[in-house]
Amino acid sequence: MRGYAQIANDGTITRFDTFVPEQAAANTASGVIGVRVNRLGAGGNTRRLEDGRTVLSLNVSMVTAADRGRLEMQGGGADEFSIYRVTGRHGTATITFNGAAPTFATAPEQIQSLNEQLRGTGIAIAPQGTGGGGNPHIAAIGWGHQDFVKVELVDASADGVRFAGLGAAGQMDQHIGATAIDHSVAGRVSIDGKIYSLGGDFGTTINFQEDGNDIEVDLHVYGLRNVAGATLHTVNIDLDAGISGLGSSGGTHNQVIRFGFGDVSTDQLGRGVILPNIPALSSIPNSITRTDFYETGGEVLGVTALSDLGSGGPSDIQSNLFERAIETLDRATDTVITEQLRLGTLQKFFGDSLQRSEHAYTSLASHNADLINVDAAVEITNLIQAQQKANTVATVLAQTNAIAANIQSLLTG
Q: What is the pLDDT of residue 135?
A: 81
Round to whole Å and give the CA distance between 306 and 325. Answer: 8
Give the pLDDT band of residue 285 (cuts 50, 70, 90).
very low
The stretch 304-316 carries a mean pLDDT of: 76
Which tens digit of pLDDT belongs to each residue from 162-207?
Answer: 888 786 665 666 678 889 999 998 988 989 888 999 998 888 899 9
- The least confident of 6-20, 79-93, 198-212 is 6-20
pLDDT value at position 152? 93
Query: How far is the C-alpha of 19 from the C-alpha of 35, rounded, in Å?
Result: 13
Highest mean pLDDT among 18-22, 140-144, 395-399: 140-144
With H, G, I as helix, E, B as strand and everything else as coil, classify residue 194. strand
Q: What confidence tens digit (pLDDT) does each residue in 257-279 have?
A: 666 666 777 888 888 888 888 87
End-to-end CA distance of the chain: 109
Domain borders along the chain are: 1-62+191-262, 70-183
Query: Average pLDDT over the chain, rounded to whole?
Result: 78
- DSSP per residue, 55-113: EEEEEEEEEE--B--EEEEE---TT-EEEEEEE-SS-EEEEEEESSPP-TTT-HHHHHH
Identify the residue with better confidence: 54 or 341.
54
Cα–Cα distances in angstroms (integers) from residue 129 to residues 5, 83, 108, 174, in the given order? 32, 25, 15, 31
Instruction: Indicate whether 80 pLDDT > 90.
Output: no
What pLDDT sits at residue 255? 57
CA torsion, points 57, 58, 61, 66, in degrees to nearest 10?
-140
Mean pLDDT of 3-8: 87
Cα–Cα distances (Å) from 263 to 40, 167, 200, 248, 331, in that order, read 17, 52, 19, 24, 13
Average pLDDT of the residues in 69-97: 90
Distance of CA 27 to the CA centre of its chain: 22
What would the DSSP string read from start to end of 146-167? T-EEEEEEEEE-TT--EETTS-
How high is the pLDDT of residue 130? 58
Please report, as a single letter, which amino acid is at residue 216: E
Mean pLDDT of 131-152: 86
Predicted pLDDT at 249: 46
Q: Is residue 8 predicted with pLDDT exceeding 80?
A: yes
Taking only the tens place, the pLDDT of each residue in 105-137 is 788 888 888 988 998 899 998 877 656 667 888
- Other CB atoms within a 10 A radius of the CB of residue 10 amount to 8
Chain-centroid distance of CA 356 in Å reads 31
Give the closest residue to 129 by CA, choosing from 301, 278, 287. Answer: 287
Lowest mean pLDDT among 34-43, 88-97, 102-111, 163-172: 163-172
Best-predicted range by mean pLDDT (9-13, 317-321, 379-383): 9-13
Per-residue confidence (pLDDT) for residue 394, from 0 to 100: 66
Query: Which of 77-81, 85-89, 325-329, 370-374 is predicted with the least confidence, judged by mean pLDDT?
Result: 370-374
Question: Averaged over 209-236, what is the pLDDT?
Answer: 77
With 50 as the cut, is the pLDDT of residue 283 above it? no
- Cα distances (Å, whole numbers) of residue 118 to 95, 136, 277, 318: 8, 15, 10, 24
The number of beta carbons lying within 10 Å of the beta carbon of residue 291 is 14
Q: Using CA atoms, how far apart are residues 339 and 38, in angstroms rounded to an integer?
A: 10
| 3-state secondary structure at position 308 | helix
Local structure of 307: helix, strand or coil? helix
